[in-house]
């Protein structure tokens, strides 16, 4: 009885895991409400960034030029974060300091009060060679470096560092821009590769997301896009990309939740080696193809009908690489029909998305407190994307 009563009394504002534990403490002789507490968090973070850059174009000839660019950047950040455990509705028989120690020992939350600051300086740049091979075609070769500033993880997780480092990249791109058919068609294509150091990654740690650094990753591939006016009323457009994106070196990667709980994978064991695994949200192939028909019904009224098909290869969602959290390849169809004024002042459209009603998700993970290490099957949660939807769009430009 005390077990049931305790769960009911502490359900509001207390995660189910802790509610069950409180009841268990009651069964073992601890008074009801002994560790009844709640987490109070305060975070104040400030960021200041400034930069100076210069860009120079050298026209070597009438059809060949080189563009040089360099940028100096300074990023300063500071954070003041306080995590405390306080009595929930005044029910706990223990003082807040003792509650905080219990919650920390049980690995629910971390109690702390810290102030951190960081400052970083970067010099980045690019060199771009451009060659007008004809009046309608331009080839280019671009070398560039870049960075993403580091910062502070604001989650309540205990296992990870509170600070993550800046991410840097060195990239090269070889491309072509081509206009043809008297300007009625346009084609762009590019080969590219980027080598990243200290890649910033976000992973689910059972109670929330934490941000940290992977070691190295490489992204390479090619992409092409085009649009063609087949007639005065029909245009076709499309894009295709092939991508090879993987972690070249990622020891100590995040663990699956249940593997952490049974002790087979943790910060103490060095995590899991994710070297050679794909990057998140980076399908190997993807593309789209669309067709639009537009015609004038009167001197002031136009009719438009359009359809688009989108394709994506398999997508790795969470960092842990669990095959049951991979989004399988899919194809979706969208369509739009509209009436609009010739001068663009107003439009009225009917839009259909995902017309074949494909079931897809944009996030998935194994659920906390589920898995083989606890003696029962692992459970998963998925965040679904929109099913087949229809909408009416109305637009009017007042200016």
Identify the sign of the CA torsion 306, 307, 313, 317.
positive
Residue 237 bridge partners (DSSP): 227, 290
CATH class for the region spanning 153-396: mainly beta
**Residue extents of the structural domains in the chain:** 1-34, 153-396
In this predicted model, which residue has the larger pLDDT, 381 or 154?
381
Coil, helix or strand at residue 259? helix
Q: Report pLDDT for 100.
A: 57
Q: Report pLDDT for 291.
A: 98
* Cβ atoms within 10 Å, residue 100: 21
What is the pTM assigned to this prediction? Answer: 0.78
Over residues 294-309, the pLDDT tens digits come to: 999 999 999 999 999 9
pLDDT band at 380 (very low <50, low <70, confident <90, very high): confident
Instruction: Give mean pLDDT, residues 332-355.
Output: 96
Measure the CA–CA gap between 179 and 137, rounded to whole angstroms: 6
Asked if residue 303 lies in contact with residue 274, where contact means CB atoms within 8 angstroms, the answer is: no
Residue 380 bridge partners (DSSP): 366
Coil, helix or strand at residue 59? strand
Q: Report which secondary-structure segment, H or E, holds 234.
A: strand 234-249
Asked if residue 111 lies in contact with residue 100, where contact means CB atoms within 8 angstroms, the answer is: yes
Coil, helix or strand at residue 364? strand
Asked if residue 237 lies in contact with residue 228, where contact means CB atoms within 8 angstroms, the answer is: yes
pLDDT band at 15 (very low <50, low <70, confident <90, very high): very low
Residue 118 has pLDDT above 70, yes or no: yes
Measure the CA–CA gap between 121 and 19, rounded to whole angstroms: 47
Using alpha carbons only, give the angle 261, 250, 143 rounded to the nearest 5 degrees: 150
CA 11 → CA 85, 96, 347, distances in Å? 17, 20, 51
Give Cα 22 distance to the centre of its chain. 36
Over residues 214-242, the pLDDT tens digits come to: 889 999 999 999 999 999 999 999 999 99
Coil, helix or strand at residue 53? strand
Residues 6+ apart with CB under 8 A from 136: 178, 179, 180
């Amino acid at each position: 009885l005390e077990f049931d009563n305790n769960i009911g009394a502490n359900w509001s504002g207390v995660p189910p895991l802790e509610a069950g534990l409180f009841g268990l403490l009651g069964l073992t002789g601890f008074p009801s409400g002994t560790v009844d507490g709640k987490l109070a968090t305060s975070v104040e973070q400030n960021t200041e960034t400034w930069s100076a850059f210069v860009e120079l174009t050298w026209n070597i000839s009438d059809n060949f030029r080189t563009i040089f660019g360099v940028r100096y950047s300074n990023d300063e950040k500071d954070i003041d974060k306080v995590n405390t455990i306080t009595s929930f509705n005044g029910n706990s028989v223990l003082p807040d300091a003792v509650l905080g120690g219990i919650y920390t020992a049980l690995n629910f939350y971390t109690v702390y009060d810290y102030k951190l600051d960081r400052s970083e300086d970067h010099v980045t740049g690019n060199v771009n060679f451009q060659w007008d091979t004809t009046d309608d075609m331009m080839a280019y070769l671009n070398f560039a470096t870049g960075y993403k500033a580091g910062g502070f993880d604001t989650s309540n997780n205990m296992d990870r560092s509170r600070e993550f480092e800046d991410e840097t990249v060195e990239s090269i791109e070889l491309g072509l821009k081509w206009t043809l058919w008297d300007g009625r068609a346009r084609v762009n294509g590019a080969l590219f590769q980027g080598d990243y150091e200290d890649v910033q990654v976000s992973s689910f740690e059972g109670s929330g997301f934490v941000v940290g650094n992977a070691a190295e990753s490489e992204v390479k591939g090619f992409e092409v896009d085009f649009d063609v006016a087949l007639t005065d009323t029909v245009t076709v457009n499309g894009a295709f990309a092939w991508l090879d994106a993987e972690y070249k070196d990622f020891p100590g990667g995040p663990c699956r939740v249940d593997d952490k709980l049974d002790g087979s994978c943790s910060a103490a064991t060095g995590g899991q080696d994710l070297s050679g695994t794909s990057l998140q949200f980076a399908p190997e192939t993807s593309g789209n193809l669309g067709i639009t028909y537009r015609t004038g019904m009167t001197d002031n009224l136009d009719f438009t009908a359009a359809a688009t098909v989108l394709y994506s290869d398999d997508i790795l969602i969470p960092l842990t690489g669990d095959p049951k959290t991979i989004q399988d390849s899919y194809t979706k169809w969208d369509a739009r029909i509209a009436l609009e004024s010739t001068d663009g002042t107003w439009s009225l459209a009917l839009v259909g998305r995902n017309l074949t009603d494909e079931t897809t998700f944009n996030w998935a993970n194994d659920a906390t407190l589920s898995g083989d290490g606890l003696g029962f099957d692992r459970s998963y949660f998925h965040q679904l994307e929109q099913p087949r939807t229809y909408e009416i769009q109305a637009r009017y430009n007042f200016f």
